[in-house]
């Protein structure tokens, strides 16, 4: 039976105990584990050297990696400096959709295969997007605050003050990956008409009743626009003042994908002018959200602190998908989440 020296660099969400349990379910392999626990989310992630959204733990990794063939992490900063200290590393699994905390070119140059865990938080993120969407449509934070303040606002039943329904609305999804597809199914169940803009959409995955359109048409037609695209050089800033102006007046804008997709200053301007009737966000241009952000005083906004993927099932799923990737590696196959250079 093969023995594989493995580093588990978990954290307080994707715990090492979850990772080890998932890996130990594999047959015909024995693992010799080394473990370090990274401080996220008790300590926020940030930029570490040339990688993003990582825990500041280069020294811990450098100390733990010699002799390690396989590593599994969510927030470990696998910078070029860290990779230089890992001459035996051959396979790295990152328990997230995209390995932004890994210098992928440097890893591949050193003969290290990198895999991500696509879809591990798709259910959680989709459910959260729907919750934010409904909260914005019905302005739930405003109603909650009024009760907390001892106000019984029956005046909010007035036609100009009350919310809107999903049934019969047109919902535009920018991005039709694992999360967007789940949101689409829920929207159809609510009776909404769904339009999708995604240049990479797989026609085989487009559900009956969904239209695939260009972004401009989606913006013109949608009562609700929800962002589910990846952040790339091509999508950065894809929704700005001009795009928001194309939406029907009083529309709702939701972003649970990445803050860089959206011009938030233009969004606040649109909320204040009434071009947007409401908005909902789980991601922001700077995280944590600065104390002086205009979003904190903008009208009709629902916000959560980048927690769309935060469910226990997501953590468990990350471990099981990571184990599947390890099983593929050990059998000489490409894992489902293989990361390559574009």
Looking at the DSSP bridge assignments, the partners of residue 6 are: 33, 70
Q: Hey, is 181 helix, strand or coil? A: helix
Q: Establish whether 287 is a catalytic residue.
A: yes
Q: Work out whether strand 170-174 and strand 251-255 pair parallel, antiparallel, or are unpaired.
A: unpaired
CB count, 10 Å around CB of 36?
19
Q: Establish whether 205 is a catalytic residue.
A: no
Contact indicator for 128, 282 with CB cutoff of 8 Å: yes
Closest of 113, 34, 37 to residue 76, by C-alpha: 37
HSE-CB for 25 with a 13 A CA cutoff: 12
Chain center to CA of 265:
22
Provide the token pair at 132. Answer: 């934010």
Residue in 34, 96, 221, 258 annotated catalytic: 258
Looking at the DSSP bridge assignments, the partners of residue 92 are: 71, 114
Residue in 193, 272, 287, 294 annotated catalytic: 287
Residues whose CB is less than 8 angstroms from the CB of residue 267 and which lie 6 or more positions away in sequence, other chains included: 244, 253, 276, 279, 298
Provide the token pair at 102. Answer: 């890994």
Residue in 306, 312, 317, 324 annotated catalytic: 306
Q: Establish whether 59 is a catalytic residue.
A: no
Residues across the chain = 342
Looking at the DSSP bridge assignments, the partners of residue 292 are: none
**Backbone phi and psi for residue 303, each to the nearest 5 degrees, phi listed first:** -135, 145
Inter-axis angle of helices 122-137 and 312-330, nearest 10: 150
**Backbone phi and psi for residue 24, each to the nearest 5 degrees, phi listed first:** -70, -10
- Provide the 8-state DSSP code for 247: S
Residues labelled catalytic: 258, 287, 306
């Amino acid at each position: 039976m093969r023995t594989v020296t493995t580093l588990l660099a978990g954290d307080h969400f994707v715990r090492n105990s979850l990772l080890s349990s998932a890996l130990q379910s594999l047959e015909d392999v024995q693992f010799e584990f080394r473990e370090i626990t990274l401080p996220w989310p008790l300590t926020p992630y940030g930029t570490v050297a040339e990688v993003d959204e990582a825990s500041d733990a280069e020294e811990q990794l450098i100390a733990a990696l010699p002799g390690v063939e396989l590593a599994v992490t969510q927030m470990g900063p696998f910078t070029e400096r860290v990779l230089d200290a890992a001459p035996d590393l051959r396979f790295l699994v990152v328990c997230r959709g995209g390995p932004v905390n890994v210098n992928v070119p440097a890893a591949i140059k050193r003969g290290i295969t990198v895999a991500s865990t696509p879809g591990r938080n798709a259910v959680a993120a989709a459910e959260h997007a729907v919750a934010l969407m409904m909260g914005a449509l019905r302005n739930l934070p405003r109603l909650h605050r009024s009760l907390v303040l001892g106000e019984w606002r029956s005046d909010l039943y007035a036609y100009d003050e009350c919310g809107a329904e999903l049934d019969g609305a047109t919902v535009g999804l920018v991005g039709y990956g694992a999360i967007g597809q789940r949101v689409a199914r829920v929207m159809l169940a609510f009776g909404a008409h769904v339009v999708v803009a995604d240049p990479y959409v797989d026609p085989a995955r487009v559900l009956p009743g969904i239209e695939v359109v260009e972004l401009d048409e989606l913006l013109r037609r949608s009562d609700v626009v929800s962002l589910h695209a990846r952040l790339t050089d091509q999508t950065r800033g894809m929704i700005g003042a001009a795009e928001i102006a194309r939406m029907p007046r009083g529309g709702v804008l939701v972003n649970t994908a990445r803050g860089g997709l959206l011009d938030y200053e233009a969004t606040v301007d649109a909320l204040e002018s009434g071009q947007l009737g409401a908005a909902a966000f789980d991601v922001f241009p700077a995280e944590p959200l600065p104390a002086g952000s205009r979003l904190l005083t903008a009208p009709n906004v629902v916000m959560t602190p980048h927690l769309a993927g935060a469910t226990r099932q997501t953590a468990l799923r990350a471990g099981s998908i990571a184990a599947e990737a390890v099983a593929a590696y050990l059998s000489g196959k490409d894992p489902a989440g293989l990361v390559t250079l574009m």
